[in-house]
Amino acid sequence: MVEKFTAFQEAVVRACPQAILAVDENLVVRILNRSAEKLLGVESAGIVGRHVGEGGFLGQSVFQDLQETVQTGEDHNSSYYLFNEEGQRVLVNLHTSRIADGDGNCLGAMLVIEEPASGIDCRQFELILDCIEEGVIVIDADQRVVIFNRAAGECYSLESRNVVGRDFAEVLSVVPLEDQLVIRTVTLGEEFSKYHHSYVVGGRRRSFVSDTAKLTDEKGKLTGAIQVFREITALQEQERVENAERLTLIKQIAFGVAHNMRNPLTSVRGFVQVVQEKAAENAISDISEFARVALKEIDRVNELIGDFLHLADTFEVRKEPANINSLLDSIYVFIKGKAALSGVVVTREPARELPSVSVDVVQIIQVFFSIIDNALEAMQAGGQLTIRTYYLSHENKVGIDFSDTGPGIPAHLLKDIFNPFFVVREEGTGFGLAIANKIVFEHGGELKVKSEVGKGTTFSVYLPVQ
């Protein structure tokens, strides 16, 4: 009678419109009804009697839910993406519950799979994502690609239908391990904001800026991760072209202005010197003092013209292999002494292993001093200057950050900070950073700045590895 009743129960379960899978206390599949066969794209004959973890028809996260339900009796509710035989994605709700006898002894667990009702189905949601310019990749907790929008497909020359449902690392093997940000978000819990990275795609190096976030259910359980990214290769190339054009224009203006100013100033200085000498001979102290001040100001203008010409000159870059940490070591004593006069503490964070770069040592040290001088001037009341070096393996560049705790620079001024005559403090000439930018540019590198008012400023120098 019991056997007949059990057979009857099993028949009821198999006829149930809900998708149901049942396992025993050893996680061996005992029941897989017709609705579950259809949703999972499998046949019960090949599944029943096998361990639920075999065959790969259920993801690792679902297997773990069933295992925990058997072991602890805790029910689980979660959302999950299934992929049918046609490769179509189906969003389902999963419910696990323990099966026990009348004495409370565990007999196994049951998994109920339900397709949720929604005002917007998955296809409509895909169409919405296909309309945005940013690439969107979503993976589940088992690292399978769940969403791969049009922009992502265009970037990697892949079609969504050939990607969705497959393992991320397998289908996007072109992405280096350290740049698989969405995987790092799922496995390590790291979330990235405006992360800049580059690697070779389709035979050429391309640059991206990405954001990632963890996806969780209402109980806070990790269900996957999303990566939204934008390619900035063309933007970076445009910035390099604009920087080159700006430097060319500065050269043209500098040569014209400097040469047309220096000759008259030489004559004026000569006349003022004569006046000063005559005033001294005749003991006319007022005129002598006025002449001294005039000469001082003329010399200051001549110094500015010299800086202007230096900015305009195409000076020779004598490159040699150098280690950036060693260069910073060589000037550290000067930095520390000058900083102490302003009450600034200098902290160094050198990378342990840093590849050599090919640079003109004298010119790069000039860049460092120019950035450091600006930082110290910004911290007249004291503060901290942190110098950090690191290697960007994905871009094959060495980075040097100079971070101060000064007042910061307003956002609307940052775009002009590398232009000649741009000054934040009254006594500045406005040429130091312009020349530094030119030197770094002619080394094939980049000089960037980030600042937040009230918190400080960071200048970053990026130099290509030889």
Which sign, positive or negative, has the C-alpha torsion 175, 178, 182, 184? positive
pLDDT of 456:
92
Secondary structure (DSSP) of 182-215: HHHHHHH----SSEEEEEEETTEEEEEEEEEEEE
The CATH number given to 122-231 is: 3.30.450.20
Edge-first strand listing for the sheet containing 204-216: 145-148, 135-140, 222-231, 204-216, 195-201
Would you list the DSSP string of 343-373?
Answer: TEEEEEE--SS---EEE-HHHHHHHHHHHHH
| Burial class of 248 by CB neighbour count within 10 A (0 to 12, 13 to 18, 19+) | exposed
- The ranges assigned to domains in the chain are 2-114, 122-231, 236-312, 320-464
Mapped onto helix, strand or coil, the DSSP state of residue 398 is strand
Nearest-CA neighbor of 402 among 423, 386, 417?
Answer: 386
State the pLDDT at residue 254: 67
Partners of 111 in beta bridges? 21, 96
Specify the long-range contacts of residues 212-215, CB closer than 8 Å, at least 24 apart.
212/181, 212/182, 212/184, 212/185, 213/185, 214/185, 214/186, 214/189, 215/138
pLDDT at position 122: 58
In the chain, the amino acid numbered 270 is: G
Tell me whether domains 2-114 and 320-464 share a fold.
Answer: no
Q: What is the pLDDT of residue 120?
A: 46
Q: What pLDDT does residue 4 have?
A: 42
- Angle at CA of residue 170, ends 51 and 153, nearest 5°: 125
Query: Which residues, including other chains, have CB under 8 Å from residue 384's CB and lie 6 or more apart?
Result: 344, 345, 346, 347, 404, 405
Which tens digits make up the pLDDT trace of 293-333?
A: 788 777 777 766 666 666 656 566 788 999 999 999 988 88
Question: Low-confidence residues of the chain, pLDDT below 50?
Answer: 1-5, 119-120
Report the Cα–Cα distance between both ends of the chain, in Å, rounded.
83
Q: What is the pLDDT of residue 348?
A: 93
Strand order in the sheet with 76-83: 29-32, 19-24, 106-114, 89-100, 76-83
Q: So what's the pLDDT on residue 308?
A: 65
Place of tokens 């028949």: 11
**Domain over 320-464 is classified CATH 1.10.1040.50:** no
Comparing CA positions, the residue from 29, 35, 146, 31 lying closest to residue 87 is: 146
Cβ–Cβ under 8 Å, residues 458 and 401: yes
Helix (H) or strand (E) holding 464: strand 456-464
Q: What is the pLDDT of residue 238?
A: 76
Q: What's the CA gap between 164 and 89, in Å, rounded?
A: 8
Contact 62, 94 (CB under 8 A): yes
Largest CA distance in the chain: 136
| Residue 43 near residue 108, CB atoms below 8 Å | no
CATH of domain 2-114: 3.30.450.20
Instruction: Record the tokens describing residue 203, joined without a space.
Output: 């035979």
